[in-house]
Amino acid sequence: MASKKKPLWLEFSSACSQGPPNPPVGIIFKHGDDLRQDMLVIQSLMIMDSIWQEKSLDLNLVPYGCISTGYNIGMIEIVRDAVTIAAVQRNRGGTMGAFKNDALFDWLKGRNLLQEIHYNAMERFVTSCAGYCVATYVLGIGDRHNDNIMIMDQGNLFHIDFGHFLGNTKRFMGVRRERVPFVLTPDFLYVMGRVGKRSSLYFHRFMDTCIQAYLALRCHSHLLVTLFSLMLLTGIPELSCAQDINYLRKALQEGRSEEEAGKHFLQQIAACEHEGWTVQTNWWIHIMMGGHQG
């Protein structure tokens, strides 16, 4: 694959000769990346999903398989029927696709033409976007460019490649590139009908879902903090001391009331709306530099 560490895209076919053929199993085999951090993030996403499911919140997450098989060696499951946001933007607007606010909406509509199917796709987009906004904020996921976020034909939005977490973000010439608490760009908002400051039912649904999901995680903050505390001695570079876990406590607003925490997260959504252009600019630079999936 055309990525810095030259990972291999492998396809496995079933050897079973009886019955209908099974679809091939695809994996990315990576050498040179420590996948333990990715494993920890994906396991955390699965725990978050179980917490939300208990509250009857189905946020349509896509916790794909990931396993570290040795030192800086491992495998990642390929999610079928999914493309990167960068691919959608390049397809719809070329090098300026990052600034084309309706690109994602047009792409989704083109793959879900019937009204009922389109409605289901919108539902999956809104809920999955809310789930990943909350999860990436709580875990402090960094390096969120448009090749690290994907969209499925069915509408599910999901994040990949978790090389930076707990508030560690990429810098360029000493300047912090990421200025938003999580990714909520104008093209995501456009899908929800949020153009400018215009209100919409989908955007209100998104905000309500975010608050419900965020408050549900706060009820289990001790579980997440304990999980990360147990990983302190594993040698993961960005999780090496107790200070690193303070990010989780701060993100979950420990010690604040439920009402204060809810207002805090709404402030983060507002900050994302206000600074959305900075994300678009970073994504445009990523496309111009020929960025590809990491």
Whole-angstrom Cα distance, residue 118 to residue 74? 37
- Residue 180, Cβ neighbours under 10 Å: how many? 19
Whole-angstrom Cα distance, residue 206 to residue 215? 14
pLDDT tens digits along 235-276: 888 998 888 999 999 999 999 999 999 999 999 999 999 999
Give DSSP secondary structure letters for 201-230. Answer: HHHHHHHHHHHHHHHHHHTTHHHHHHHHHH
CA distances for 24 relative to 15, 20, 160, 207, angstroms? 10, 12, 21, 38
pTM of the predicted model as reported, rounded to 2 decimal places:
0.92
pLDDT tens digits along 79-134: 999 999 999 999 988 889 999 999 999 999 999 988 888 899 999 999 999 999 99
pLDDT tens digits along 150-166: 999 999 999 999 989 99
pLDDT at 292 over 60: no
pLDDT tens digits along 3-20: 778 899 999 987 776 777
pLDDT of residue 17: 67
Which domains occur in the chain, in start order?
81-216+262-288 (1.10.1070.11)
Backbone angles phi, psi at 31, to 5 degrees: -130, 120
Whole-angstrom Cα distance, residue 39 to residue 46? 11
CA distances for 148 relative to 25, 141, 158, 159, 286, angstroms? 21, 11, 9, 6, 11
